[in-house]
């Protein structure tokens, strides 16, 4: 089989507040035989906040990022749900509106770039499921996670709006009954925990302006996973990870109950199953201690 190759849009957190996410992405890609070409020219996606302020600017900046993936002739892989949403949303709007695309390209032309719409954009989770396949992943597992109950936490921007998200990957996902992360847990040998909050919001995006709402949402998620007897949680989104992992004291205070669980990035869970060391996967960078490895 030809080696899989993608353009990697790391997003900002992977280089700052979730270094373990970058480490585990590279470690897992190596194990899976995936080549990642990092888009070092890429800017921030605007995280859905710039979009509230200046829609056109956010379109131009995201189109620029995609244009770099197109230059490589590669599918763009994202490792953050919100990067995925904003990039895929940009692609969707430009591919369906010639006039808007022309306006954006007029700006990109000023810096010698052009958005064509030739690169697909998919989250790493779906790239693995679609292009490698869970059967193949299963065959590659050397350390099955069979002793663990693992609670999947999907993160909004990978599953909603479903119409947009389902354009970006081949395996259809039902936002009310998502399967991708559950299936990956099972492929890694673990038991997936079903709980009400698994497809709900973590509250990250209002952390500054509505800290109580934000903490209640994340607190409820951890509480739901705990009530489902989870040993730990897993998420494909670094923003959900920050919310669930770094401030359990706030979450506990907001919901009036002590909640805390180790939370792994999707790449870290897969890495453990594929035989990566905990140092390679950056488990030492978690605030909530990961003590089961």
Partner 1 sequence: MSTNTITTQKVNFKVFRFNADEDYLPYYEDYNMEVTSEEVVLDILNRIKWDHDGSFSYRRSCRHGICGACAIKVNGRSTLACKESMKDMVDLFGSELIIEPLSKKRAVKDMIIDKGDFWEKHDAIHPYLISDVHENPEHEHIVTPAEAEELNDADLCIQCGACHYACPVVEINEDFFGPAAFAKAYRFEADVRDDAHDERLQELHQEKQGLWDCVKCFECAEACPKDVNPIDKITKLHQMLFQEGVATSNVATRHAVGFKHSIAKNGVLDEGGMVLYSERAAVVKHIPLALKMFRKGKIVPPWGITKSENLDEIQKLVKSSSTAKF
Residues that bind partner 1 (CB under 8 A): 12-13, 15-19, 40-44, 46-57, 60-61, 64, 107-108, 110-111, 113, 156-157, 160-162, 174-177, 196, 200-201, 203, 205-206, 208-210, 212-214, 216-217, 246-247, 284-287
Residue 116 CA to its chain's centroid (Å) = 25
CB nearer partner 1, residue 203 or residue 271: 203
CB nearer partner 1, residue 110 or residue 135: 110
DSSP 53-77: H-HHHHHHHHHHHHHHHHHHT--EE
CA of 258: how far to CAs of 140, 203, 255, in Å? 37, 18, 8
- Please state whether beta strands 191-192 and 149-152 pair in parallel, antiparallel, or not at all (unpaired): parallel
CB nearer partner 1, residue 50 or residue 141: 50
Compute the least distance from the CB of residue 226 to partner 1, in Å: 19
Compute the least distance from the CB of residue 208 to partner 1, in Å: 5
| CA contacts within 13 A on the Cβ side of 37 | 15
CB nearer partner 1, residue 105 or residue 188: 105
β-partners of residue 106 are none
Compute the least distance from the CB of residue 262 to partner 1, in Å: 13
Interatomic CA distance for residues 118 and 102, integer angstroms? 15
Compute the least distance from the CB of residue 244 to partner 1, in Å: 14
Compute the least distance from the CB of residue 110 to partner 1, in Å: 6
- Please state whether beta strands 4-9 and 34-38 pair in parallel, antiparallel, or not at all (unpaired): parallel
């Amino acid at each position: 089989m030809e080696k899989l190759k993608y353009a990697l849009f790391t997003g900002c957190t992977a280089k700052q507040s979730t270094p373990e996410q970058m480490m585990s992405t590279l470690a897992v890609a190596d194990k899976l035989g995936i080549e990642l070409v990092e888009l070092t020219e890429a800017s921030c996606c605007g995280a859905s906040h710039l979009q509230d302020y200046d829609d056109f600017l956010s379109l131009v900046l995201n189109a620029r990022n995609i244009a770099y993936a197109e230059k490589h002739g590669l599918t763009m892989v994202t490792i953050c749900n919100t990067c995925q949403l904003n990039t895929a949303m940009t692609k969707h709007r430009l591919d369906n509106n010639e006039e808007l695309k022309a306006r954006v390209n007029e700006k990109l032309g000023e810096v010698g770039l052009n958005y064509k719409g030739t690169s697909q954009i998919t989250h790493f989770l779906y790239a693995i499921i679609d292009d490698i396949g869970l059967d193949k992943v299963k065959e590659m597992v050397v350390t099955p996670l069979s002793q663990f109950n693992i609670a999947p936490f999907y993160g909004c921007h990978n599953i909603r709006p479903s119409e947009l998200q389902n354009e970006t990957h081949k395996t259809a996902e039902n936002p009310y009954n998502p399967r991708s992360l559950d299936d990956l847990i099972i492929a890694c040998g673990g038991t997936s925990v079903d709980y009400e909050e698994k497809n709900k919001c973590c509250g990250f995006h209002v952390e500054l302006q509505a800290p109580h709402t934000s903490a209640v949402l994340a607190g409820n998620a951890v509480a739901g996973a705990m009530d489902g007897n989870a040993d730990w949680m897993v998420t494909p989104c670094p923003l959900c990870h920050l919310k669930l992992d770094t401030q359990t004291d706030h979450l506990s205070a907001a919901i009036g109950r002590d909640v805390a669980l180790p939370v792994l990035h999707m790449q870290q869970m897969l890495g453990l199953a594929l035989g990566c060391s905990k140092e390679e996967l950056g488990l030492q960078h978690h605030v909530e201690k990961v003590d089961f490895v």
